[in-house]
Chain A
Amino acid sequence: MIGSGPSTGPGLSPANMSIERHERRYGLALALPALGWTVAFFLLPFIVMLVLSFAHLEGREVVQGFDTGNYQRIFTEPSLLKGIRVSLEITLVVTILSVILAWPLAWIIAMQVPPRWQRLALMLAVLPFWTSYVVRSYSWALVLGESGVMMQALIGIGALDAPVQIMATRAATIIGFVHFFVMLLTLTIYSNLVQLSPNYARAAADLGASGWATLRLIIIPLTLPGIMTGAFLTFVLCIGDYITPQILGGNNELTMPQLIMLQLGRRGDFPMASALSIVLMALVTLAYAATARWLKMDRL
């Protein structure tokens, strides 16, 4: 009899419960490798890093304990504090610029390009992904240099009388980042746009909305999950990136990853590197909290 006993639960026969238990165990077994991987290579290292961030260096020896000195230094020493500020400024500018450039590109590919050409258009949009990240950054160094393609072209068409310095500035870092992240955002926004039913725009038109109003009030809000997911990924990858500012920024200001590498590579100060990494993770967590309501990965 269905649902006759307290142990079987309402509406489930013992046979169904057995199937459900089996499926649950099967699901758990499938998830175990990924779970084990995450515990071994994220959770445990994170705990080690957290513990190490409260240690300190005496001479060249790491002394374990609960010492908040590293965190105090991060928020009081101007050079370390500036690292946080520089990282945040660059990341925010990159994220905003990338969204502004990626949205129209994704919209054109999704709405204006015939479906049979969309795959090719997307492939062309992400073509730079095919090259190594380091090679791409060095390529930008050659493009942005005074004798580089861009400067020579600008001088050639008379837009500039003499080369101006872009390489080894924050602008170079931002250009390198934006080039990379526009591709990423284009993908997330595109995948969101192609899922939108054309009926939304038709309904808006029926109700008298102009094209601009439809875009502003209907389409863009509906693509917020794609925008915010891409923006969050951009934020995470950009604020934690070492290569681009190192190659294009000319060491004229240091971001947090550069400061972390300085602690590891030069000073051998693993506790301070850990503390800086924890602060970096805290910033990412804050970014997640700020965007969580729009982050719908399943919509992509």
Chain B
Amino acid sequence: MKTKNKLIFAATTAMLFSMGPLHAAEELNALVWCDHTDPALLQPFEEQHDVRVNVKEYEGTAAALALIEQSRPGDWDVLVIDGVDVGRAVDLGLLAPLPADQLALDSYFPEVVMEENNTRDGVIYAVTEKFGYNTVAFNRSKVDPADMEDMTALWSGKYDGRIAIYDYYLPMIGLVGLEQGVATADLDAAAVEGLRERLYALKGAARQVSDVVSSQTALATGEVDILYGGGEWLTAVLNAENPDLDWTIPADGGLRWAQSIAVMADSERQDLALEFVKYITSPEGQARLATSSCFWGMPANAAAGDVLTDEQKAVLRWDEQADYLSRTQLYPVPDADLDRAMQDLWTDMLQQ
């Protein structure tokens, strides 16, 4: 065979092999947060089951529910959803029961099993897969770490123009509520409205309100020194480049986010979808999800500790989780009307 032909043959073969999942026997459609789009997470499952996992990322449960409503029944097989919103999805009949005996809940961190959220009348509809914190991330070399132990410092004027606000209304309104002494579980329409001036003042002190990527960029390039709403999920991926990027849970407390994963009730590939859930919650899947290229976070399954390296666990602050879990609250759980009121308030704040 001539050299040119050999090259063409090699290139074609390589292309065909690299396109393996494209020619997979089956497809699985998952509605997910961006951390599930990492090929390093999906590839082992795709290869093991000869399946292609199609992921559609979204941000915010309202958006996910709207996407599902616009889709045909059966379009989606797997749903990743904020742990606090599982009940909403169950109420809408979206989720299929999961077999308890096939889930690795025994090795979970007990605090994040979240039975009250993931279970209804003794039936498990979702399982927690990842958790972390929305608190205060900052550059230790530019900010007095002691100041960051009290959220009020962000309104003091000392850090005006050096703050970025994470652009996600749920945890941020929850955080500002905590700063004002309102527990997330007590946030109702009146309490949310009561935070309006405080939010406006925060916006006045901030340089920008930004999504994950823009926030990371701003913190990494020194545009801002503080990210309100940040946490390990943001600083972990930057840690190697800049060890000064740090985060803390202030004395006022912090928000704990938790993602759950579920099988869609209308899925026509329930068995495969369940296998995906089992893979994601397995120690290997959990370790890969915890260190996903989009954002890091603690694995819900403590058995992932056997797979993660010591360096990865140090970045995730594995040994401090007991303290963090005790000092943080879950996201607010708004109904449709309160959710709309919170989003209106957030839009008003952005336009200040």
B344 to chain A, nearest CB (A): 8
Contact B351 A146 (CB under 8 A): no
Residues of A within 8 A of B167 (CB): 251
CA distance A148 to B336 in the complex (A): 43
Interface residues of B in 320-352 (CB under 8 A from A): 336-337, 340, 343-344, 347-348, 350-351
CA distance A18 to B223 in the complex (A): 72
User: What is the count of residue pairs linking A and B with beta-carbon distances less than 8 angstroms?
Assistant: 88
Question: Taking A250-B210, A268-B62 as contacts, is the C-beta distance between A79 and B350 under 8 angstroms?
Answer: yes
* CB of A147 within 8 Å of the partner chain: yes
CA distance A264 to B65 in the complex (A): 11
How many residues of chain B get a CB closer than 8 Å to chain A's CBs?
32
* Segment from B122-130, B181-189, B214-222 that makes contact with A: B214-222
Residues of A within 8 A of B207 (CB): 165, 168, 250
* CB of A78 within 8 Å of the partner chain: yes
Contact B66 A60 (CB under 8 A): yes
Residue of A nearest to B58 (CB): A265
* CB of B73 within 8 Å of the partner chain: no
Residue of B nearest to A247 (CB): B214
B70 to chain A, nearest CB (A): 8
CA distance A60 to B214 in the complex (A): 30
CA distance A90 to B53 in the complex (A): 41
CA distance A254 to B210 in the complex (A): 12
A122 to chain B, nearest CB (A): 33
Residue of B nearest to A268 (CB): B66
Residues of B within 8 A of A182 (CB): none
Residues of A within 8 A of B305 (CB): none
Residue of A nearest to B349 (CB): A79
B238 to chain A, nearest CB (A): 15
Contact A252 B69 (CB under 8 A): no
Residues of A within 8 A of B161 (CB): 165
Residues of B within 8 A of A262 (CB): 343, 347
Residues of B within 8 A of A78 (CB): 348, 351
New A-B contacts (4) at CB < 8 Å, excluding given A78-B348, A82-B351, A247-B214: A147-B221, A147-B223, A262-B343, A266-B60
Q: Which residues of A contact B (CB under 8 A)?
A: 59-62, 78-79, 82-83, 138, 141-142, 145-148, 165, 167-168, 247, 250-254, 259, 262, 264-270
